[in-house]
Structure 1
Amino acid sequence: MAVPVEEAIAALSTFSLDDEQPEVQGPGVWVSTERGATDSPIEYSDVSAYRLSLSEDTKALNQLNILTQEGKEMASVLYTYRSCVKALPQLPDSMKQSQADLYLETYQVLDLEMSRLREIQRWQASASSKLAADMQRFSRPERRINGPTISHLWSMLKLLDVLVQLDHLKNAKASIPNDFSWYKRTFTQVSGQWQDTDSMREELDDLQIFLSTRWAILLNLHVEMFRVNNVEDILQVLIVFVVESLELDFALLFPERHILLRVLPVLVVLVTSSEKDSESLYKRVKINRLINIFKNDVVIPAFPDLHLSPAAILKELSTYFPKFSSQTRLLTLPAPHELPPHTYQRHYLIINHIGAIRAEHDDFTIRFASAMNQLLLLKSTDGSDVDWSKEVKGNMYDMIVEGFQLLSRWTARIWEQCAWKFSRPCKDASPSFSDYEKVVRYNYTAEERRGLVELVSYIKSVGSMMQRCDTLVAEALWETIHAEVQDFVQNTLASMLRTTFRKKKDLSRILSDMRTLSADWMANTNKSESELQSSHHGGEESRANIFYPRAVAPTAAQVHCLQFLIYEVVSGGNLRRPGGLFGNSGSEIPVNDLKQLETFFYKLGFFLHILDYSVTVATLTDLGFLWFREFYLESSRVIQFPIECSLPWMLVDCVLESPNSGLLESVLIPLDIYNDSAQQALVLLKQRFLYDEIEAEVDHCFDIFVSKLCETIFTYYKSWAASELLDPSFLFASDNAEKYSVQPIRLNMLLKMTRVKLLGRMINLRSLITERMNKVFRENIEFLFDRFECQDLCAIVEVEKLLDILKHSHELLSRDLSVDSFSLMLNEMQENISLVSFSSRLASQIWSEMQSDFLPNFILCNTTQRFIRSSKAVPVQKPSIPSAKPSFYCGTQDLNSAHQSFARLHSGFFGMPHMFSIVRLLGSRSLPWLIRALLDHISNKITLLEPMITGLQESLPKSIGLLPFDGGVTGCVRLVKEHLNWETKSELKAEVLHGIKEIGSVLYWMGLLDIVLREIDTKNFMQTAPWLGLLPGADGQILTTQDSGDSPVVSLFKSTAAAMVSYPGCPSPTSFHIMSKQAEAADLLYKANLNTGSVLEYALAFTSAALDKYCSKWSAAPKTGFIDITISKDFYRIYSGLQIGYLEESAEVSSNSHERLGDSVAWGGCTIIYLLGQQLHFELFDFSYQILNIAEVEAASVIQTHKNSHFAMQGWEVLLEAMKKARRLNNHVFSMLKARCPLEEKTACAIKQSGAPLHRIKFENTVSAFETLPQKGS
């Protein structure tokens, strides 16, 4: 069944295409199918229908408007004119013969530019003549209605303003005379070949006079005006209108006010320079009023980077108009650079008004939103009350007018501040700075830039808010305007016709004409016009007319005619009438009626701007002038200024660098200035090269903007994460904990921006930020790894902490932005993405660090379970630590110093915290690779030690007996030295000791790793055991809570699946069945991981397997089957000799043997002895043990003889104490080895972090435990 079109449209209207993107840019242009508020073109084609003898006025008005538009185009040509001379090539001496061709080509290029100047010359002559003729028409005696309309006054003033701007531009542009001089020179060179060049030369001379004469256009206008001496009246009318409009703030839009300010000094000069009654002006307008206006506005915006000064204009024109030179009060006005800055900059600088502007903005937006809500409610209500409807729409109309006034006032402040800054360059700037840098880059303080950003954001936000509601308020505006007009013409004028103008036929005729041309009798519910006219003679008071609201606004012609007729009623067409526009001097109209006429007259002026709604909003929010700098480009003689001098970019950079985080929401607003300037370049100035320059700057600055914004975002989230990860006890103990807190910034708004409007393009800012954030996170990880590679192994705790901060910042950012997974980026930077890659970059660096620095240079302190760097170790050359921004550490300097203080606590040793960090960083994937590399290092060391130990064995006597007790300690020590004939083997001894030390260090390192892994396994077991139905038993065994059946997690999902399958309303029972199967798989996986082995036991088994190859050499079996107490070749004898040797060295005062070896030697030597089965031999026949026994016997015998035992042992106390410490350490090591690796069970314990057996990774020249040992349980 087909759906009716009406229903389909109604259904489509319920869909919303709006997304969650906030509006943080200025208004844009969009296509709308709804009726908008801009439906009234400014034209006067229907004037003739009203039969008011205004046809001649209308033609002149249209002619003036056309001339004004043409003049603006001419001004654009002059403003954007750039010198061609700079681009002319210079011929080398070798090409002098081609000079004629160069002149010809140069002439052809310059002739195109000069033709535009000739066109401007011809146009200004024509425009001046037509403007003068139009002014002279108003004094003709045959004219029936003498007074000009208000629209006509405005058209005259706008054309005069264009002529003044053209003259000012011609005077300011130095490149134009330069190019003309080149053009004239080339014309002289090439014209010799032409015929009949007299007319061209004459035209050239005229153009030269025009370009070289200052104020040539104004002088020509003066000549045209006073050909017939009768324009003083209209000039005085214009001055009165300008003065009253400025004093009463009649101009709704700021461009109109600036036009009035620019033409007023010129009008004063023209009037006072006339031959006839030049002083009559001051009878109508007191000179003090003019002086006050000139003093209040000492600088007037003319062009983006050009300003006018009334005082300067008056002084300069006094030399060209001699009669004006007598106006001393006007000529003594100070120029802008002569004014005290503190007095006037209070008016011009935005920062002095930003508080009031902020309050105005907040108040207006609240009331505007409230009015919009009322209007929406009215639209959704059927059959609403007429009075309420009129009130709501009237309130909306008032809000629109107020919004236009606010926007006009705010934008005018920016124009005027820029003009003030251009008039007063920075005085403290360096002489090397360009003029433009002095007026822009170094002329705005940071506070002034922030104030300007804030005001620009207010203008753009209010403009965007008003533009979005264009189609919503259109009918309300039209109805309100219609009601205003009809109330005036049907009620107010009717009352006046019955009372004030009843006996004044001429005025009554004008009022009747007003009703005829604008009254809407079709909407009237009372009497018709004919009935109303007949009732005028009835003598009874009629009630006010009631008319239906209609969305029918008056045309521009109707507004034009109404203003004309009201002015005719008030002034009677007398140009010389004293007083102002609505002054009561000599008028017979009552004050109340005059006030009503004045109020409606000024309302008519607002109507055209409100009807031209979109154009008005665009005009008031256009800030493109902040980019243009054509005048300073010419004066500075550069092609373009660097981006740092561009005011829009300065504002963007100010927001990014500002400590005020609230401004960051407005960071996109200054970029909207580029949209405005590009629109001006293409539509108003019509210059493609300007657009290309804007586009190039936008491309460059947007890249910088995104980079800086991403840096700000990354720094904020990094600081936030670092602040949250700070130790609470540290914050509690800190005297100034506030400096470690991070002020919140509303970045989620910017992170949602998927459509940034820039030069007609839609840019996905969110995608760009995501891309750069992914890159920055990878760069940060890369930097942390590079930094770790320049440090020792103790820095692993700091690396983990910094990675934790980075990971937490990634988690915080991921709430607002879809960035890559952190684990994916970490694996990518660790080069650990491949499925067959088990050695990560971090694991390789740890292993490299252990090989090159940790094992050779760190010594073990068994008491503290820590490795520390030996004070006697040779320094290892490492690359310098790379430098980076604070954001690559913890975000801010304060947070960096706080976390650095924690890192320093772990930088001087290697212990359990570092082992936890290694396990967490490497994980179950890379840790087995590192373990295997360390085990193969043990195998390699044993292989390297074998020939060295053989060399020591060869130096020993064939048999070594027990030490004699009767020799005492002194004799035994001497006897041991005689047995150990290793004086020539000192280097070999040192290498063997270092080799044994490294083996011991690796084994102890494995012991620490085993402790950490067991703790992690226990934690995992505690988390998974309840779900698997497991309990730890009394003897350490794992017990099952259920005798038979499934584990709790499997039972839970199976019962849930069975219940859902039996439920008839279940949409997809198969998904629950799949979940129960997944629970069974998880149950098997986690149960398989429970029986993990011991890394230390596996390392000991691996070492034992490596020693089996050398067992015959290091542990000879006794030939008789009994222990041979004289054997000297076993390993325990070698180690015993080495041990007593370095104990003797450590007992010496200047010795550093222990500081070089530490306790790792005992771990390495005792482990080898234990695994070779020589523990008992060592404990019986070790030299230091025997000496300790002898010392004990000797001390006991001394005590029995009542001698001083201290005297008997004199000289050996330090050595004996070192031997006792060594024996205690050896006993500790042997007890640990017996507990973890009983000799009767020499099997390898597989490493099962993930439940799978260790992959067989082979290293060159090493023994594989998987080739020599069976797996446990096989």
Structure 2
Amino acid sequence: MMQHCDTLVSEALWETIHMEVQDFVQDKLDTMLRTTFRKKKDLSRILSDMRTLSADWMAKTSNADPEQNSLHQETEEMRQNTFYPRPVAPTAAQIHCLQFLICELVSGGNMRKPGGLFGNSGSGIPVEDLKQLETFFYKLSFFLHILDYTATIGTLTDLGFLWFREFYLESSRVIQFPIECSLPWMLVDHVIESQDAGLLESILIPFDLYNDSAQHALTCLKQRFLYDEIEAEVDLCFDLLAQKLNEIIFTYYKSCAASTLLDSSFTYACDDGEKYFVKPLRFDAIFKLRRVMVLGRTIDLRSLITQRMNKIFRENIDFLLERFENGDLCGVVELQQLLDILELTHQSISRFLELDSYSLMLSEMQENLSLVSYSSRISSQIWSEMQTDFLPNFILCNTTQRFVRSTKGTHHSSQRSSASTGKPYFYCGSYDLTMAYQGLAGLYRDFFGVPHMFAVVKLLGSRSLPAIIRALLDHISSKITGMVPKITALQEALPKSIGLLSFDGGIAGCQKIIHEILTWEAKSEVKTEVLHDLKEIGSALYWMSILDIVLRQIDTTQFMQSAPWLGLVPGNDGQVKHAYSDNTPFTTLLNAATNAVTSSPACPNPSTFLVMSKQAEAASLLYKSNLNSGSVLEYALAFTSAALDRHYSKWSATPKTGFIDITTSKDFYRIFSGLQYSYLEETINYPSKKQEMLGDSVAWAGCTIMYLLGQQQHFELFDFSYQFLNVAEVESATISHYQSSERTKSPNLLQGYEGILEAMRKARRLNNHVFSMLRARCPLEDKVACAIKPSGAPLHRMKFMNTVSAFETLPQRAT
């Protein structure tokens, strides 16, 4: 720009030089001639030659003889020379002559005098005059560069010489100079590392060094190999620049997204919460760079950043999926958090760059692009983890509604590969935000509960979730089928006649009778396998119940959002009714707007509004059809009931007499009763052996199977634990009555049985809870459930055939 303005500033420069020279030769030299050099004829002659050589007497108001001015005494006003500056600069020859005469005047012909050229040693010139001569001498050196203004500007802006470093290559005996030692790249890297908002907008300026060095190599040095080396380095540096720019932009916007999604209560609770806020940066100037000139080539930096940004997003999604695949099912919450941050990052950057669709990139990395594919990497990993790790190794705590990993269980332990460590910006951007989110995710890493199910539903969506449900139901069916021969083996080990426990022998006698009945010592492995199968079935059913809770919450939220537009209001009986008989408020509003627009003669294309009105009607019908969504748990119970129907004859034989057989029955409730008693007894005898391995899932599976087989009341009447508790209660009441009447202290016959009695009471409370839930969600008299279509839409109120219930086997009242 300064080179283009040379004609505008040249006259000002020449006038300034003219004024400086004339001020010195006409005023200051005149004073020296009249004072210091008045009696020194040789030196006065040199000063007079300087004035004669460079003085512009045409610019003076009085052109008097200079020698007469030095010989006559004049007043102070007469001695002041007056001249007018003109845009007439001295020539280079005049400047060189003035410099030569000053050297001759100061040195006296001795250029090697001690103290330097202007040293005050033997010259006989006063210090003040010597300083004026020195100052003018050095000014003349700068005047030479100012006279050649265009060439000087070109020399100053040509930084190509900074690149040439053959001397260093030769001295270090290397073939190629390291890119980290290149001055242009050092400047660019400094801007990147400092992340100064003001410097980032000028990050491409150091690349002008390469343009100057390439120009110098071709025009001045005329060396093609130097240009080729410069070009190779430019390619490498520009690739590194594009990569680091993408990393900086991606890291900044991801940090902003993570800071936005971070729980505000967590930030306020921290003493140093300010570190979770991101310092604002501006990348607008970089996003607008569509034409960057480097070595005569035009580069679209915006397009290059967009391409690399799409690649970074795909790499990040793949890293998160791979990280989830190397962990257990509890890491689904962390995966959902990181994907939410990534999605918000994509939304922020999409305001400036034309990125690919986030859903498209996510489907691509999940290998779920096919329209007929209902599986993905996430769904496959979730089902794989449930098969190999979750169902075998996690135990249920019914009180907290959580699954926790068993510390003792090694059944079907899965082999995992070590998780790879990704780049820092693949997590949450900054280090502080990454540590904060890892701390929050660590709260959900040791259990599986409702928060994890919300994450599963959000990640799978309505497309892949039905496949998981179907696979889980098939797993329950296969486990039921696999238990049939094991249950048969346990049935065969039972005695032919099983009577009720007698109250005469007390709890000690009851325990002895139960041990005589349950002769399963030789079937210990079979019993353990049956318990593990029941545990997996119960875990699967409870997993479905948590899923049902989450889906109902989501459906409720969607209903509250869509009900006003569909004209739905609560009725008197608590049911939802339609406030409008024909159309919904949504369709009515759009139909009115369409009629108003189409009736106007200024409407250019009324067909568009008609299509919009039809689409509104279709949307209303679609939302209305989804209001009566069914229950996943009810469907799972109906599916389990249908699977049990195939083995009904083996696990629930109909009595030949029509009455309950209390002595020879070997139905499933008898097997589960024995398993529950043995399980509780081993829990007391070995506190850390069984409880941590099985949890509450066994009760859920056993009670569900008995309920669906119609054996709930049979179990409540003839269960060994329940009879044991009844005997203990009667014995305790008898002892209390005896003590109150005799007023003597008798020995406590229940001593030593407190642990097993408390365990039995807990088991009975758990069984009652499961039975009450089953009666509420799946009444046997009218088993209604919902099916799930392949598209993910629920199909409400599918009726299944009733199995034989307790009401059919008990004697019926005469009518």
TM-score by shorter chain over 0.5: yes
CA contact (8 A) 2:537 2:701 kept: yes
Query: Cα distance 1:575–1:1073, how it changes in 2: closer, same or farther (>3 A)?
Result: same
CA contact (8 A) 2:785 2:799 kept: no
Does residue 1053 of the first structure (1) align with residue 590 of the second (2)? yes
Alignment of 1:591-606 (within 5 A): none
Aligned equivalent of 2:340: 804
Does residue 1226 of the first structure (1) align with residue 767 of the second (2)? yes
Q: What letter is aligned with 1:1140?
A: Y
CA contact (8 A) 1:1166 1:1230 kept: yes
Q: Find the aligned partners of 1:844 and 1:1094 in 2 and give their Cα distance.
A: 24
CA contact (8 A) 2:630 2:795 kept: no
Aligned equivalent of 1:1242: 783
Does residue 1030 of the first structure (1) align with residue 562 of the second (2)? no
Does residue 1190 of the first structure (1) align with residue 753 of the second (2)? no
Does residue 929 of the first structure (1) align with residue 467 of the second (2)? yes
Aligned equivalent of 1:1207: 748
SS in 2 for 1:644: helix
Q: What letter is aligned with 1:1000?
A: G
Q: 1:500 aligns with which of 42, 50, 63?
A: 63
Q: Note the alpha carbon deviations across 1:101-156, whole angstroms, 9 max, x for none.
A: xxxxxxxxxxxxxxxxxxxxxxxxxxxxxxxxxxxxxxxxxxxxxxxxx9xxxxxx
Give 5+ residue unaligned stretches, structure 1. 1-26, 30-35, 43-149, 151-240, 249-279, 286-488, 505-543, 548-553, 581-596, 1256-1264
Does residue 1107 of the first structure (1) align with residue 644 of the second (2)? yes
Q: Using the TM superposition, give the Cα deviation of residue 996 of structure 1 relative to its aligned residue in structure 2, in angstroms.
A: 0.7
Aligned equivalent of 1:784: 320
CA contact (8 A) 2:462 2:793 kept: no
CA contact (8 A) 2:46 2:101 kept: no
Alignment of 1:845-994 (within 5 A): 845-874=381-410, 876-994=414-532
Q: Note the alpha carbon deviations across 1:340-396, whole angstroms, 9 max, x for none.
A: xxxxxxxxxxxxxxxxxxxxxxxxxxxxxxxxxxxxxxxxxxxxxxxxxxxxxxxxx
Q: Find the aligned partners of 1:1143 and 1:743 in 2 and give their Cα distance.
A: 60
Query: Cα distance 1:1040–1:616, how it changes in 2: closer, same or farther (>3 A)?
Result: farther
CA contact (8 A) 1:1195 1:1205 kept: no
Aligned equivalent of 1:102: none
Q: Using the TM superposition, give the Cα deviation of residue 793 of structure 1 relative to its aligned residue in structure 2, in angstroms.
A: 1.1
Aligned equivalent of 2:223: 687
CA RMSD for the aligned pairs?
3.8
SS in 1 for 2:763: helix
Query: Cα distance 1:848–1:575, how it changes in 2: closer, same or farther (>3 A)?
Result: closer
Aligned equivalent of 1:1175: 712
Q: Using the TM superposition, give the Cα deviation of residue 708 of structure 1 relative to its aligned residue in structure 2, in angstroms.
A: 1.9
Q: What letter is aligned with 1:701?
A: C
Q: 2:276 aligns with which of 735, 740, 746?
A: 740
Q: TM-score, normalised by structure 1?
A: 0.53
Q: Using the TM superposition, give the Cα deviation of residue 1188 of structure 1 relative to its aligned residue in structure 2, in angstroms.
A: 0.9
Does residue 831 of the first structure (1) align with residue 367 of the second (2)? yes
SS in 1 for 2:206: coil
Alignment of 1:979-1128 (within 5 A): 979-1042=517-580, 1044-1128=581-665
Alignment of 1:641-656 (within 5 A): 641-656=177-192
SS in 2 for 1:1201: helix
Q: Find the aligned partners of 1:962 and 1:1183 in 2 and give their Cα distance.
A: 9
CA contact (8 A) 2:57 2:63 kept: no
SS in 2 for 1:666: coil
Q: Note the alpha carbon deviations across 1:450-485, whole angstroms, 9 max, x for none.
A: xxxxxxxxxxxxxxxxxxxxxxxxxxxxxxxxxxxx
Q: Using the TM superposition, give the Cα deviation of residue 1268 of structure 1 relative to its aligned residue in structure 2, in angstroms.
A: 8.2
SS in 2 for 1:1208: coil
Query: Cα distance 1:638–1:1156, how it changes in 2: closer, same or farther (>3 A)?
Result: closer
CA contact (8 A) 1:1146 1:1153 kept: yes
CA contact (8 A) 1:928 1:1254 kept: no
Aligned equivalent of 1:813: 349
Q: Using the TM superposition, give the Cα deviation of residue 1036 of structure 1 relative to its aligned residue in structure 2, in angstroms.
A: 4.1
Q: Find the aligned partners of 1:884 and 1:616 in 2 and give their Cα distance.
A: 52
Query: Cα distance 1:834–1:1032, how it changes in 2: closer, same or farther (>3 A)?
Result: farther
Q: What letter is aligned with 1:1106?
A: A
Q: What letter is aligned with 1:980?
A: L
Alignment of 1:353-364 (within 5 A): none
Q: TM-score, normalised by structure 2?
A: 0.81
Q: Find the aligned partners of 1:574 and 1:1158 in 2 and give their Cα distance.
A: 108
Q: Find the aligned partners of 1:1148 and 1:1187 in 2 and give their Cα distance.
A: 17
Q: Find the aligned partners of 2:101 and 2:279 in 1 and give their Cα distance.
A: 68
Aligned equivalent of 1:307: none
SS in 1 for 2:396: strand
Q: Using the TM superposition, give the Cα deviation of residue 563 of structure 1 relative to its aligned residue in structure 2, in angstroms.
A: 7.3
How many residue pairs are counted as aligned between the two chains? 721
Alignment of 1:668-679 (within 5 A): 668-679=204-215
CA contact (8 A) 1:681 1:691 kept: yes
Q: Note the alpha carbon deviations across 1:1004-1031, whole angstroms, 9 max, x for none.
A: 1111110110000010011111111112
Aligned equivalent of 2:118: none
Aligned equivalent of 1:1143: 680
SS in 2 for 1:848: helix
Q: Note the alpha carbon deviations across 1:234-280, whole angstroms, 9 max, x for none.
A: xxxxxxx9xx99xx9xxxxxxxxxxxxxxxxxxxxxxxxxxxxxxx9
Q: Find the aligned partners of 1:847 and 1:800 in 2 and give their Cα distance.
A: 17
Q: Find the aligned partners of 1:620 and 1:641 in 2 and give their Cα distance.
A: 25
Does residue 699 of the first structure (1) align with residue 241 of the second (2)? no
Q: What letter is aligned with 2:518?
A: L
CA contact (8 A) 1:1244 1:1269 kept: no
Aligned equivalent of 1:752: 288
Query: Cα distance 1:1206–1:1248, how it changes in 2: closer, same or farther (>3 A)?
Result: farther
Query: Cα distance 1:575–1:1157, how it changes in 2: closer, same or farther (>3 A)?
Result: closer
CA contact (8 A) 2:786 2:795 kept: no
CA contact (8 A) 1:723 1:895 kept: yes
Aligned equivalent of 1:60: none
Query: Cα distance 1:1210–1:495, how it changes in 2: closer, same or farther (>3 A)?
Result: closer
Query: Cα distance 1:1266–1:1083, how it changes in 2: closer, same or farther (>3 A)?
Result: closer
Q: Using the TM superposition, give the Cα deviation of residue 951 of structure 1 relative to its aligned residue in structure 2, in angstroms.
A: 0.8
Q: What letter is aligned with 2:473?
A: L
Give 5+ residue unaligned stretches, structure 2. 15-20, 29-41, 48-54, 68-82, 108-135, 803-815
Q: Find the aligned partners of 2:745 and 2:447 in 1 and give their Cα distance.
A: 43
Query: Cα distance 1:1192–1:812, how it changes in 2: closer, same or farther (>3 A)?
Result: same
Alignment of 1:476-515 (within 5 A): 496=60, 499-500=62-63
Query: Cα distance 1:1222–1:718, how it changes in 2: closer, same or farther (>3 A)?
Result: same
CA contact (8 A) 1:1089 1:1250 kept: no
Q: Using the TM superposition, give the Cα deviation of residue 1178 of structure 1 relative to its aligned residue in structure 2, in angstroms.
A: 0.6
CA contact (8 A) 1:1199 1:1205 kept: no
CA contact (8 A) 2:784 2:799 kept: no
Q: Find the aligned partners of 1:671 and 1:711 in 2 and give their Cα distance.
A: 20
Q: Using the TM superposition, give the Cα deviation of residue 1064 of structure 1 relative to its aligned residue in structure 2, in angstroms.
A: 2.4
SS in 2 for 1:746: coil
Which segment drifts farther, 1051-1060 or 699-708?
Answer: 699-708
Q: What letter is aligned with 2:595?
A: A
